[in-house]
Structure 1
């Protein structure tokens, strides 16, 4: 399974520690609430909100270097509106790995 990493963050920040700290602070702040919105929308079966939450989370997935995870999230986002949740478990495993990774930063 692909694991979150700092490769994209490092290439984006190019040694600018202040920018890196701000970027990580934004991710650490926004990710938990966006993840909660996803699960709440899923529970409410609100397809538009689920897709919107996945869309927002997709960008965090990319920033944490999960290229395959980003592709899966993009596919899942498109499938949600067709009431296709085949990729929900894989997507949620990505969210779990991100949660654990962010605890280490």
Structure 2
């Protein structure tokens, strides 16, 4: 399994420590809220609403260097649009991985 990293954040921030910290703080604030919203829609079987949350979360995957997970999230997003959940477990495992990583920053 691929591992999250902050290479993209470092690239975006250049040598500016304050920009790096702002980007990390945005991740730390937004990611848990987006994950919570995703689970709320899934638990209520509101798959069309879950599509919106998966779309937002997959961009955080890209920021954390999870290219393969981003691709899988795109497929999962399309599945949800068709009321299918085949990649749910894989997506949710990635959420746990991301959240643990972001919390460790």
**TM-score, with normalisation over the residues of structure 2?**
0.96
- List runs of 5+ in structure 2 lacking aligned partners: none
Asked if the contact 2:76–2:88 (Cα under 8 Å) also holds between the matched residues in 1, the reply is yes
- For residue 67 of structure 1, report the CA deviation from its aligned partner: 0.5
User: What's the CA shift string for 1:27-55, capped at 9, x where partnerless?
Assistant: 10011010000000001111221000100
CA distance in 1, matches of 2:23, 2:7: 14
2:61 is paired with a residue whose SS is helix
**TM-score, with normalisation over the residues of structure 1?**
0.96
Match of 1:42 in 2: 42
- For residue 96 of structure 1, report the CA deviation from its aligned partner: 0.5
Q: CA RMSD in A?
A: 0.8
- List runs of 5+ in structure 1 lacking aligned partners: none
- For residue 5 of structure 1, report the CA deviation from its aligned partner: 0.5
CA distance in 2, matches of 1:34, 1:74: 16
CA distance in 1, matches of 2:52, 2:42: 11
Moved over 2 A (4+): none
Match of 2:80 in 1: 80
